[in-house]
Structures are given as structure tokens and as C-alpha cells.
Structure 1
């Protein structure tokens, strides 16, 4: 998954360990489904088990509250999560459940100058006792860890290939 200035993330795959890549395409919830919206901001996707993923994104194209896509210090919130699963034979290899609101800071500013409100996902994931833990910087001042229980992700049902 690649962040872009197009108002949505793109995806691509390589069949030869990264020597060549397929033409990038907008990331969709599923083949032919809605395109995920995302401003110019990190939108990571993590593999947390065999064929199981979660995707973090802002769920808007940069037009958020009074902000525009150019206001990258202000519109990088809130955060949504979508559970993803590998779909063999599908055009887009990972399909996603409906996005779920994950977190926000309601735009409260902290820090020097004008302060910061962003929840940009410059993050990482570790697995502890079989449970994914998301590590992220809260407005780039605090490092926080949040458990991502697998049963919680499983509640976000991903459609099957061929379902309507």
C-alpha cells in the first residue's frame, strides 16, 4: 500500500521479489468496491497472521473540517481501521471489511508554536503473546501502545469472493 497525493492510497504487487511491479491502482475495499479515501499521510497495512491484515487510514481525502489536502499538519485525523484478508484469485489480493472508527484526539493541539493535532501513523506493530500491539506517536510527543485483539479484528467480517 502506497500513500499518494490523489486522495486515496494505491496498491501494487511484484511477482519477482521486487524487481518489477504491476501498475499501481487505487486501493478498494474489494474488487470493484469503493475506493478508500486517504489524504497525503501514512496508511500502513500490517500482516498479523497468515492471510490476516489490518489497514489504518483517515477515511477522507484531505477535505476534513476546515482543512484542505495541502494542510497536512491538521487533517491527519481521525484514524479508522479495516480488517483485511488475503483472497486467492482476486484481482486485488487483500479484501477489507467495512472501516471502523479507531481513534481521534478531537483536534486538541499540543506542543510548541501552533501546536499539533495530527495522528499520522508513523507506527509499528509487534506481536506479544499472540496479540498484535500497535505502537504509534501521539502527535509526535508520546509513544503509545494499543493492543489489537485478533477476536476484535475477526468481528470485522470481510466479504467472500463472489459474494454481493
Structure 2
């Protein structure tokens, strides 16, 4: 899982990823180019952007809900994998093409993207806080009950 700083940087740069071609261009070094279900075009159709790490060459992230997926195999269906793990992603629930959206619909969609970002970062912060509490509790217990 990426750090909060990485998620923040992605969120800030992904506002251009509403464009399908922009998403496709991120898959230049994608290991599955043709003859499979997870081609760059199909990945982009599902709102995914290729964001590889040094030891994880097949990591993708939804530009909208910021869901990260990895461990792709040629038979994986990007749309199915995305909606299975993020059924409320507003991008996946769109009923029309991005170019057909009204300004009002676009603003609403962008509001949903911001909400997804806040939810993701808040969840990560809460996990960090809980981990800190667990460590503090163990430290206090070890001092109260030394072996």
C-alpha cells in the first residue's frame, strides 16, 4: 500500500486522468499489451492508471477512488476487479461518457473524487493512530508486568 504522501501526489496529478487517452498513456511499460483481458485500453476503460513501483511493476490505481490493485494475470477483467473491490466508485457508476457530462455533473463528480481522497487519507491516518496506540499499550504493559 502506498504512503499518504504518494496518495496525495497521485490525487493532485490525477485531475487530468478524466481523459481516457491520458490514462492509456500511463501503460507504456505495462506487461500485458495484447491477447489478454487486461490490455492498456481495457485498464483505462475501468478508470485505472499504471503506477508501478520498483518491486511491483503491475500496480495500478483508480484515478478516481484511489483503489490500488496489483498481481494481475492475463485473464483478469479490469472492470470486474475494480468494481468488486470498490463498488461505490463514482467513476464506475457513470451512466455516460465523460465528454457528455454537463458542467454541473462534472463538478458533482469532482466533489465525489475529493470525498474519496479524504476518506482514503482519513482511513490511513486512523490505521496509523491505532498502530501507535497498540505500540504504546504494549510498552506500558511490558513496564507494568516485566517478565
Q: How does the TM-score come out when normalised to structure 1?
A: 0.30
Q: Which has the larger radius of gyration?
A: 2
Q: Which has the larger helix fraction?
A: 2
Give me the TM-score of the superposition, normalised by structure 2. Answer: 0.32
More strand by share: 1
